[in-house]
Structure 1
Amino acid sequence: MASTNGITVRSARAEERPEVIRLQDMGFGMRGSPADAEFGPQVFDIERALVAVDGDRLVGHANDRVMTVTVPGGNTVQASGVTGVVVTPTHRRRGILRALYTELHRRIESEGQPLTIFYASEGAIYGRFGYGPSIAEVDVSIQGRTAEFRSTTPDPGGVRVASLTEAELALPEIYDRWRRLTPGAQDRPEARWRQRVFAESIQHQDGAVQFFLIHPDGYVILRRAWADNKNTATVHELRAVTAEAHVALWRVLLSMDLVHTVEANLSDNDPLPYLVTDPRLVRVTGRHDTLWTRVMDVPAALTARSYQQDLDVVLSVDDPFRNAGGVFALRVRDGVAECERTDRTPDLELGIDVLGSLYFGTYRARVYAAANRIQAKDPAVLRAFDEAFTGDRDAELGWFF
């Protein structure tokens, strides 16, 4: 496809999968599980992968999958979910990542997808390619059986401990209802359920035993492990379609016997701290991004989602990597947007990476303006833009890829 500095970028071949796996193991410093080997090729097809080749050696790799992603307001868009981006340490700073990304994004453009999303293993690299962090979560730790629920917190009940067979039947349907309500969440292929949740090799992994809690409108996947005579329950995934399911599941999690610590990831505005009498017991131990987004087609992306208030604004969007930038008139009425290129004078100037960060409603325009990442002529326009891009439900990543 392309050649630079003696390196050729081309499509991967099926027989190269073992070498791709070795390249990723080295790049990410971890080995995949037997379930990864069995089901991984069904999730990310090797025939969509790109590789960088130096002679007869693979020295770089990138792949993607077309995903259906929910956007603010409950609509969905097609997005390219990028994964496995790696360059061997022997070939750093030779333009391999840029060459891989150039070919990958050229294909994404030809397919007409308005967004590209992925999890960034490093935070300083991908802004140059137009990506910005767009979803975040907080890590929390709660000492077991110390949190007391407020008298006003309901006790809906309805939770049961489920077998693997029951979970295989119930979880995908509940997840699908949840992801249709949740900005940032993607459809999840059956092979990914097998690979990361239901495979036998996952049930007892790294000394932890996996369990399932199921409510008609929600579920928890948790793992319990003993170390130094203390038991930790780690919430691998909690999905609640309704507020009642959320409360019911947390009531069970915080009442389990012989659990010294419950660890979980929450969205920024999860109500858990306010359901208990002492919110300090829901101790925040960290906050990190879970998804990065690049807008590939500004009008298509901005008209796909809804908005919290009416808006008339002209945006100047700078794209340092591709040709998606320009000046755009964005008009919103009753949550519905129209967007087109214009020659009008812009009200706001921002990078396409910042637009990606704002897209799902987690990050705020006023904060980027304070960091001089958005230039606004009129503070009132900035306030309206900031409010319009918020959502009525926190964005969450559906599944890690």
Structure 2
Amino acid sequence: MSTDSKIAIRTATEADWPAIQLLDSTGFGFHPSAADKTLTRALYKPEDIVVATDGDQVVGLAIEFDMEFTVPGGHQVPSRGITWVSVAPTHRRRGILRSMFTRLHQHIASSGAPLVALTASDARIYNRFGYGPATVSEGISLHRRFAEFRPEAPDASGVSITDAPTAATLLPDIYDRWRLATPGVQKRPQAHWDHTLADPSEHRADASGLFFLTHADGYVSYRHRTEGHDSIVEVDEFVALTTDVYAALWRTLCGLDLVTRIDARQHPEDPLRLMLTDYRLVRTTRRSDRLWLRIMDVPAALEAREYAADLDTVIAIEDPFLDAGGTFALTVRGGKATCTPTDAAARITMPSDVLSSVYLGAHQARTFSAAGRIQAADVLEIHRFDVAFGTARPAVLGYGF
């Protein structure tokens, strides 16, 4: 789709900020508080923002910014993030999003970043641009009063009740050690910490201010909310470097005697339900994608991570948006990969959004094969691919952006 000839795509200026914030508010349905505006101005500069204009009216925007996150094996990969993607409801179906994304991704490609990430408010938009959902989370609900831990479950000590000023001194270091070991977790800017720990009242949604439980190797931040006569704990963040700390934090949450229910978000592989005597007590309330990735440079991205098994294959990647695909020989030895262009016949063929989805290990090639989105020489080729792309720790999103 070509862009309407009246629409101009350009870099934003300081003078565009009021229009940018108005369009973002309209697109996402909220008015930013003073604290939100302060955070935005701290995180993003006008030169990071692409806008679409119709005359003097801003009718589209997207922000590109520096990001660093962990890939399997614990390596930190400098990447780019995209956020605040909006098109005015008055200017739909005019090619504005594609034009903005073309400009953004041309710049990202010139920067040499092998990966670009976003979080998607609409799952139908981004596949055509080569993005795939790369982490998964589940919303869970636990009736605390019936929670009883199995005798085999870890029973570590060391959890403390922590006030907000003390938490502000402890949480960033714990998070940073956790993100260095956890695929998908991003480096967190200080401005984001300042905003989170200031706990603006506008972000509480009729719940309490934040409470904190801390351990040397983990923490939980949570809120209280009333529902009729029941007190509900809503977990805001849950970070644990080990399964012992994970269990210790959950045991402490379950020791909040006046609480009826605990609502949280966790990875589908989290072991909580297996630690309890009643497996059914942990009820899954929703399942959702979190981090979306796009691989910009196939060899650089595949060589940046580590692997669980040796592998010899040839992969063909289809990338109609940027033409960054091709056919590549992928060889893994001792966890390290080499990936080079080749003229050999492909053993596995997939579009770039699928490769992006399996990259962190949250999705498996066999599932995409069953859906008809991966073609392979045989089922063993898919199996070997999945084994190699397996990870010791599940990939998760560190913070929303």
* TM-score of the aligned structures, taking structure 1 as reference length: 0.97
Q: How do residues 236-275 of structure 1 correspond to structure 2 at under 5 angstroms?
A: 236-275=236-275
Amino acid aligned to 1:11: T
The separation in 2 between residues aligned to 1:273 and 1:223, in whole angstroms, is: 22
Q: For the residues of structure 1 that align with 2:26 and 2:182, how far apart are their CA atoms?
A: 34
2:378 is aligned to 378
Query: 1:40-189 to 2 correspondence within 5 Å?
Result: 40-189=40-189
Number of corresponding residues: 400
Q: How does 1:340-355 map to 2 (within 5 A)?
A: 340-355=340-355
How big is the shift at 1:297? 0.2
Report runs of 4+ in structure 1 exceeding 2 Å deviation: 2-5, 31-34, 44-47, 196-209
Tell me which residue corresponds to 1:358: 358
* Aligned-partner Cα distance in 2 for 1:389–1:32: 41
Q: Distance in 2 between matches of 1:377 and 1:214?
A: 50
Deviations 1:29-67 (A, max 9, x none): 122233211222112223201100000000000002111
Moved more, 16-25 or 204-213: 204-213
How far apart, in 2, do the equivalents of 1:350 and 1:3 lie? 29
User: Which deviates further from its counterpart, 382-391 or 292-301?
Assistant: 382-391
Deviation at 1:230, TM superposition (A): 1.7
Gaps of 5+ in 2: none
For residues 190-226 of structure 1, give each alpha carbon's deviation from its aligned partner in whole angstroms, at most 9, with x where no partner exists.
0001123334546865342211110110000101112
2:339 aligned with 1:333, yes or no?
A: no
Matched, 1:18 2:8: no
Identity level (%): 45
- For the Cα contact (< 8 Å) 1:209–1:225, is it kept in 2? no
Q: How does 1:276-315 map to 2 (within 5 A)?
A: 276-315=276-315
8 Å contact kept, 1:202–1:210: no
Between the aligned partners of 2:25 and 2:105, the Cα distance in structure 1 is 24
8 Å Cα contact 2:312/2:331 also seen in 1: yes
The secondary structure found in structure 1 opposite 2:133 is strand
SS of 2:23's partner is helix
The residue aligned with 1:214 is 214
Moved more, 70-79 or 39-48: 39-48
* C-alpha distance in 1 between matches for 2:148 and 2:34: 41
- In the alignment, residue 311 of structure 1 is paired with which amino acid? L
- Kept in 2: contact 1:329–1:341 (CA 8 A): yes
Distance 2:204 2:328 in 1: 52
Structure 2 distance, partners of 1:360, 1:33, is 35
Cα displacement string for residues 249-289 of structure 1 (whole angstroms, at most 9, x for unaligned residues): 00011120211110001101101111111111111111100
Give the structure 2 partner of residue 197 of structure 1.
197
* Unaligned stretches of 5+ residues in structure 1: none
* More deviation, 102-111/155-164: 155-164
Alpha-carbon separation, structure 2, partners of 1:77 and 1:165: 32
For 1:35, the aligned partner's letter is A
Counterpart residue identity of residue 158, structure 2: G
TM superposition shift of 1:378: 2.1
Paired with 2:260 and 2:32, the residues of 1 have a C-alpha distance of 30
Give, in angstroms, the shift of residue 132 of structure 1: 0.8
For 1:143-194, what per-residue CA distance to the aligned partner results, in whole angstroms no more than 9, with x for missing partners?
A: 1221100111232121111111101100000000000010000000000011
Report the residue type matching 1:190 in the other structure: Q
Q: Give the Cα separation in 1 of the matches to 2:351 and 2:392.
A: 25
* Counterparts of 1:161 and 1:202, CA distance in 2: 25
Measure the CA separation in 1 of the matches of 2:229 and 2:209.
16
Q: Is the 8 A contact 2:3 2:96 kept in 1?
A: no
SS of 1:30's partner is coil
Shift, 1:244, TM fit: 1.7
After superposition, the CA RMSD in angstroms is 1.4
- Paired residue secondary structure (2:270): coil
Distance 1:315 1:12, change over 3 A: same
User: Which amino acid letter does the alignment assign opposite residue 219 of structure 2?
Assistant: Y
SS of residue in 2 equivalent to 1:209: coil
Structure 2 match to 1:34: 34
Distance in 1 (CA, whole Å) between partners of 2:206 and 2:13 is: 33
Shift of 1:227: 2.9
